[in-house]
Amino acid sequence: MQHTRRSFLKTSAAAGLALAVPALFGQLPAKKYRVALIGCGWYGPSDLWRLIQVAPIEVVGLCDPDKKFLAATSELLCQRQKLSKGPPTYTDYRELLAKKNFDIVLIGTPDHWHALQMIAAVEAGADVYVQKPISVDVLEGEAMVAAARKHSRVVQVGTQRKSTPHLIEVKQKVIEAGLLGTIAHVDMCCYFPMRANGNPPVEPVPDFFDYEMWTGPAPLRPYDGLPHKRWWRTFMEYGNGIVGDMCVHMLDTARWMLSLGWPKRISSSGGIFVQKQGKSNISDTQTATFDYDGLTLTWQHRSWGAPADPDYPWALFIYGDKGTLKASTMRADFIPQDKKASPLHFDCFYEREKYPEDVTEKGIELNAAPATRRHMLDFLAAVEKRSRPVADIEEGHISTASCVLANVAMQLGRPLAYDPKKREVTGDAEATQLLRRPYRAPWKHPEV
């Protein structure tokens, strides 16, 4: 007989909240926070709406180089908070941060902007919620951790799997309960068709969009249409491909579940093997291996073909000598090795009835909304206590940098061993040079 957690998860929103943030169960944060948002495209506003749902918030500024995004976010904010007028808007984040009239800054910009904006925000006195991956190179991440510590700011990374109700229960009921026995291997994967592999023509930049500002420190590509929402992700100029975008979530989840730090060694191979048409320059096929003592974590993605397990197209599989755990953002299953033992099933947790506005929100990831709300509450609890949140910037750095290093290993065709104390790749001067990407002038790479 299969035991299930469905009834537990579906009947009690409060129970899920208590699992994730017991310190805040049954109470709102003690103060009304002044919040500024940098990045009004997709996930920036989504994070803001989740924060507004769980805490008293005054939005004091919105920033984006796209004036249409600014207007749309301001309009929806007025609807959500019943305001007659939206907050000040900015196309340059430096002008917003110069006001210093905020407690919290949310950063939902493309990956190539996260480092400079997070560092500037903590220097301006803000606690920060920054989207994953935190950086596009390893030394950006080192500088971000150093800045957070220097200025004693709380920085939460948007790796909200750590606040996902059914995954929290999986960690408690399967991993910590020892049901898997000795764990020696983890597979992680993504088989989503994620490459926007088109060939749009070069065209004039529209007057409502500051393309120079949007590009910032990244290489300036010929303008071939609005780079958001998906188009920028298909170029290595702005991120680290599917490994940087999707592996970072699953690697971070595996590290959290199994209490892992830096990998001892990272190797990777892959390339563009199938989807050779179009401008996209991120890999369509890639395997990466993260080695720990007595444990190997392996990642694979394909943006073509069918998933190995149709129920788990983006997932992790933890193998022990007593059983297997399959886990994703949508579900989880424990399959015991002993055929006489009972399997366990865990379902994703939704809150449509409690937050009906979720159902009509454009672009929302309904399965992720409850996790993000709990992630925001965990962040606010850390802000109030001046403590480390569950997805502290250092943990986000380890997961991000490991994925960046996988791409460097694929580029060089050899394994890498990163030394975080020396901030170098051990015995590999060429790889060490690739820990820092060149910045486009006049932008300056942050120093540790």
CA distance 202 to 190: 31
Is a pLDDT exceeding 50 seen at residue 7? no
Token output for 49: 């709406």
How far apart, in whole angstroms, are the C-alpha atoms of residue 33 and residue 39?
19
Q: pLDDT at position 230, please?
A: 85
Cα(422)–Cα(327) distance, integer angstroms? 35
Distance of alpha carbon 191 from its chain centroid, rounded? 18
Higher pLDDT: 22 or 83? It is: 83
Give the pLDDT of residue 166: 97
Domains identified in the chain and CATH numbers: 13-160 (3.40.50.720), 162-196+219-361+393-433 (3.30.360.10)
Q: Which two tokens stand for residue 270?
A: 């892959």
Q: How far, in Å, CA of 108 to CA of 430, rounded?
A: 32
Range of lowest pLDDT (22-31, 51-60, 61-70):
22-31
Q: Which residues pair with 155 in a beta bridge?
A: 128
Summarize the confidence of residues 112-123 as an average pLDDT: 98
Average pLDDT of the segment spanning 216-235 = 94
